[in-house]
């Protein structure tokens, strides 16, 4: 079959979508990749052809404001709403026209935030699978609104709080996004949607959740077409470690990896505080800067730095990963059974930090700009308590059991073969009736 795979041009989105493209082409399917120019090579390298962003504005995820000056620093619900409106919704009509220009396909597979596929699926009647590349954001009667960074309530008063917040978000954010979506749909000759804009990103036929139930807040109203598929993009293999790698290992101390991923890479947020906080700790520190090198005086004697580090070599030796909470990096660490210290401050990262803490596989610092002492205390806590590594190992096992790209493409093929929604075998993936029963919060 001919499949169009759409990925928003962000590094954390391109990697798992390219992994899906690889699995599809490996099974003999023809794949057209719709993504930005910066990430074209990731898809053509696995045998896909490329459909460029032309009618929708292509952009550089390292400098989002150059294309979307409205976006801010990504902190708080207002920033989440602004990004949702300008980066993901208002580009939708242009995305749809680009996708239709690629010609007829048998299946549309979208990064859930690439809303153009939903519009084309409705216009053409094409089967559509969406891929949730971050924790599930679809509304639930059991949870506070996504983006608030709040844990689900456990008391009657707390549940009343969550209900009030859901109502407030419905009157403000949802109403605003619904108006934007109506305008976008009109540009491609579609009537107003029957559901809210926050639900329009998820396919009613098949949703592939990049993750596992252990990293989600349980909900009793999980839609039946949502399937957890584990880790889609395992760490790339084959890269040589930096020259200082043997020297760092020779110290014989616990290895702490510090990273800010590929987005939000201002070292003043996490890298520098972590290095200062760990300078006197009995650990070895491997820091990935993600951009240019840090000043030599900022790197203490027990630490080394590189722009990027090979995770297939690093993670099996790591004792703790300190991260700002990018979902791909979190899954990579947990997939290797490594516990986390998470400093999530922008966009979906506070939500990710809460989920890691709830799983019991790490510590949530509850800020994106932690004090050095707080980082050191959290690392010491994780190293001293074997429960964190035990829970990380349990999550690693679940990630492996859920099948990754092979399971995801099996479900895609089933969608096309059966011609309708693909329901889960189990109604409640948590097996607890929606109750929160495990983890630390």
Are the beta carbons of 363 and 357 closer than 8 angstroms?
yes
> Can you give the C-alpha Rg of the chain in angstroms?
21
| Per-residue pLDDT at 195 | 84
d(CA 326, CA 265): 11
The Cα-based distances of 33 to 97, 108, 109, 328 in angstroms read 14, 10, 10, 20
Q: How many CA atoms lie within 13 A of 125 on its CB side?
A: 1
Are the beta carbons of 328 and 15 closer than 8 angstroms?
yes
Reduced to 3 states (helix: H, G, I; strand: E, B; else coil), residue 340 is strand
Element (H, E) at 306: strand 303-306
Q: At what angle do helices 327-335 and 386-401 cross, to 10 degrees?
A: 100
Strands of the sheet with 49-52, listed across from one edge? 49-52, 30-35, 2-6, 107-111, 128-132, 206-209, 226-228
Are the beta carbons of 326 and 348 closer than 8 angstroms?
no
| Per-residue pLDDT at 441 | 40
- Output DSSP code: residue 195: S
Instruction: Say which CATH superfamily domain 2-230+403-418 falls into.
Output: Glycogen Phosphorylase B; (3.40.50.2000)
Number of residues that this document lists for the chain:
441
The contacts of residue 34 (CB under 8 Å, 6+ apart) are 4, 5, 6, 7, 51, 53, 95, 98, 99, 102, 114, 116
Give the tokens for residue 219.
């909900």
Only one residue has tokens 């926050």, namely 198
* pTM, two decimal places: 0.92
| Strand 362-364 versus strand 226-228 pairing type | unpaired
| Per-residue pLDDT at 440 | 47
Instruction: Report mean pLDDT in 10-residue bins for the chain, 441 residues.
Output: 96 93 98 96 96 93 85 66 88 96 97 95 97 92 88 90 90 88 96 87 96 94 96 80 92 93 80 96 94 90 93 95 94 97 89 95 96 98 98 97 97 95 89 49 40
The Cα-based distances of 23 to 47, 131, 198, 229 in angstroms read 10, 15, 29, 14
The Cα-based distances of 340 to 26, 41, 291, 378, 387 in angstroms read 34, 31, 22, 9, 12
The CATH architecture one would assign to domain 244-399 is 3-Layer(aba) Sandwich (3.40)
| Per-residue pLDDT at 265 | 74
| Per-residue pLDDT at 290 | 82
Could you check whether 2-230+403-418 and 244-399 share the same CATH topology?
yes
d(CA 124, CA 324): 40
Q: How is the chain split into domains, by residue range?
A: 2-230+403-418, 244-399
What are the phi and psi torsion angles at 211 (to 5°)?
155, -165
């Amino acid at each position: 079959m001919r499949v169009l795979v759409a990925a928003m041009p962000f590094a954390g989105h391109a990697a798992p979508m390219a992994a899906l493209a690889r699995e599809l082409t490996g099974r003999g399917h023809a794949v057209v990749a719709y993504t930005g120019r910066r990430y074209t090579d990731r898809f053509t390298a696995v045998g896909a052809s490329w459909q460029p962003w032309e009618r929708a504005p292509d952009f550089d995820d390292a400098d989002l404001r150059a294309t979307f000056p409205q976006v801010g620093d990504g902190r708080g619900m207002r920033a989440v709403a602004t990004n949702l409106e300008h980066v993901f919704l208002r580009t939708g009509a242009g995305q749809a026209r680009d996708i239709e220009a690629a010609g007829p396909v048998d299946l549309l597979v979208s990064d859930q935030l690439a809303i153009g596929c939903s519009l084309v699926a409705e216009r053409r009647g094409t089967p559509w699978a969406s891929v949730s590349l971050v924790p599930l954001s679809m509304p639930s009667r059991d949870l506070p609104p996504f983006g608030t960074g709040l844990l689900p309530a456990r008391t009657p008063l707390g549940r009343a709080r969550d209900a009030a917040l859901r109502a407030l978000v419905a009157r403000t954010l949802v109403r605003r996004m619904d108006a934007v979506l109506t305008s976008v749909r009109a540009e491609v000759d579609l009537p107003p949607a029957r559901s809210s804009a926050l639900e329009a990103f998820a396919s009613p036929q098949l949703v592939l959740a990049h993750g596992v139930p252990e990293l989600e807040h349980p909900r009793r109203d999980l839609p039946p077409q949502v399937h957890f598929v584990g880790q889609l993009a395992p760490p790339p293999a084959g890269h040589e470690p930096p020259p200082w790698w043997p020297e760092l290992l020779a110290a014989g101390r616990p290895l702490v990896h510090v990273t800010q991923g590929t987005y939000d890479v201002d070292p003043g947020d996490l890298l520098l505080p972590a290095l200062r906080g760990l300078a006197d700790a009995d650990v070895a520190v491997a820091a990935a800067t993600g951009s240019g090198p840090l000043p030599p005086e900022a790197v203490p004697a027990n630490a080394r730095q590189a722009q990027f580090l090979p995770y297939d070599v690093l993670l099996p030796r790591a004792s703790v990963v300190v991260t700002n909470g990018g979902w791909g990096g979190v899954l990579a660490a947990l997939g290797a059974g490594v516990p986390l210290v998470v400093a999530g401050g922008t966009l979906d990262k506070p939500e990710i930090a809460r989920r890691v803490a709830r799983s019991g596989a790490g510590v949530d610092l509850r800020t994106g700009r932690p004090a050095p002492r707080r980082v050191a205390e959290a690392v010491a806590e994780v190293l001293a308590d074997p429960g964190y590594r035990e829970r990380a190992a349990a999550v690693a096992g679940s990630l492996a059991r859920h099948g990754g790209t092979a399971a995801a493409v099996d479900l895609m093929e089933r969608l096309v073969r059966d011609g309708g929604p693909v329901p889960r075998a189990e109604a409640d993936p948590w097996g607890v009736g929606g109750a929160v029963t495990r983890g630390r919060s």
